[in-house]
Structures are given as structure tokens and as C-alpha cells.
Copies of this chain bind each other. A is one copy, B any other.
Amino acid sequence: MKPVDYMAVAQTAIQKIKSGAFLTVRAGDRLNTMTIGWATIGFCWRKPVFMVAVRDSRHTFTIIEDAADYTVSVPSGDMKDAIMYCGTKSGRDGDKFAACGLKTLAGQTVASPVIDVPGIHIECRIVLKTAMDPALMAADFAGLYPEKDYHTLYFGEITACYET
């Protein structure tokens, strides 16, 4: 585990996340991981921050709403099959970790674990949630929400960032 500056890896991380990364969330004894393809990173409220978006129709939404933190694991290698599975199957219907052979490692600073794969791992304490208001979004976003299952945005204070 090698600590890295979060902005030094931002370009690589955002580029790789476009092809899929794992958002992993634990709340009590509930744990799930899902594929994300979007994120932002920067500095706000005097803190290093990361933002992920979760649709309110997702199983992960029911967990992250009760969670204090989340992690993002950005694999350096090819994990297309697991990325596809975790982006299309729901944790409501089965254990994605078992189905994909994914193991977890305890978070360094948060309750949510990271996925035990080589890559960049970002641990975040949730510091702000904001639900998207469709009245305040661009008209051309409508095509992203045919089911009107809008995203809630979770801003996390980055509490650890490292490579494995």
C-alpha cells in the first residue's frame, strides 16, 4: 500500500473511472459494491473532496443513505467482467462479491472496505449529500433519466488515497 497525493492521480483515476470503477459501501452489516463511471475530484470546504452519484433506484442507494463513508477502487488491470456484472446486477438479488470472486480489504480510515485489486483506492467520509432537482438540470439531461430515477450526489472528504 503506497499513499499517493489525490490530485497527482486525478487524471489517471478519472480517465479509468470512465471505463468503470467500484463504489463500495458498508452501513452496519450491509455491504455492497457497484460500478461507477462518473466522479469529480477537487478541493472544497477546505477539504480534499471526491464526488460520486448514485441513482435512487439502486440497492447501493439504500445502503449509502445510512452509511458514514464509502470507498472507490479504480482497478489498474482489466476487470471488464466484474465491472460489467457489478454495473448490471443488483446486490438485492445476490452477493456480487461471491459472484465475481471479489475480495475486500479493510478500509484504512473508514468502515467501508476497498476491493482487493491492484489499483488506486480512495476512502471518503460523506460530508454532504444533495439530491438532483430535475427542475434545475439542463434539458439535455432528460435522456439520462427516462425512469426519473435521478442521482443523489455524495461528496466525500478524502481521508486516504493509496495505490496497491
Instruction: Specify which chain B residues have a CB less than 8 angstroms from the CB of A43 in the assembled complex.
Output: 14, 17-18, 37-40
A22 CB, min distance to chain B CBs, angstroms: 16
Is A133 positioned at the interface, with any CB of B under 8 Å from its CB? yes
- Measured CA separation A42–B126 after assembly (Å): 18
Residue-wise interface mask of A (120-147) relative to B, using a CB-CB cutoff of 8 A (1 in contact, 0 not): 0000011111111100111011001000
Category for how many chain A residues contact B: 35 or more
Residue contact A11 to B14, C-beta cutoff 8 Å? no
Give the oligomeric copy count: 2
- Measured CA separation A71–B45 after assembly (Å): 20
- Asked if A15 meets B7 with Cβ closer than 8 Å, knowing A41-B40, A138-B127, the reply is yes
In the complex, the chain B residue whose C-beta lies closest to that of A11 is B7
- Measured CA separation A125–B141 after assembly (Å): 13
A122 CB, min distance to chain B CBs, angstroms: 12
Q: Which of A46-54, A85-93, A100-108 contacts B (4 or more CB under 8 A)?
A: A46-54
- Measured CA separation A43–B39 after assembly (Å): 6
Please pick, from B49, B51, B128, the residue contacting A137 in the complex, using a CB distance under 8 A: B128
Q: Which residues of A contact B (CB under 8 A)?
A: 7-8, 10-11, 14-15, 17-18, 37-46, 49, 51, 53, 125-133, 136-138, 140-141, 144, 153, 157
